Amino acid sequence: RFHKKDKAKFYYNARGSVFEVAHWIDIAYGRKIISIAVGEKWMETLRRFPKQINILIKLTSENLKQ
């Protein structure tokens, strides 16, 4: 079974996962597992995702009201 609410929940989980990855990138940099250049490159990519995911959450929520 699939419901639109499941889709919204998936997006919330995805957004949380983005923040978790950012946290682990910080830890990896602090432990000198990755270089600052690699960490910054990954963080730059990650910074775009929450905004895009928020748009998907908003659109899904609006579609639920219809």
Q: What is the pLDDT of residues 15-52, one digit of tens each?
A: 999 999 999 999 999 999 999 999 999 999 999 999 99
Q: Is the confidence at residue 66, as pLDDT, over 70?
A: yes
Q: Which residue has the higher pLDDT, 5 or 53?
A: 53
Res 1: pLDDT: 61
- The larger pLDDT score, comparing residue 63 to residue 37, is at 37
Q: Which of 4, 39, 15 is nearest to 25 (CA)?
A: 39
Can you point out the beta strands (E) in 1-66?
none
Radius of gyration of the chain (CA): 15
- Which residue is associated with the tokens 């905004």? 51
| Vertex 12: Cα angle to 21 and 7 (nearest 5) | 125
Token reading at 32:
């000198």
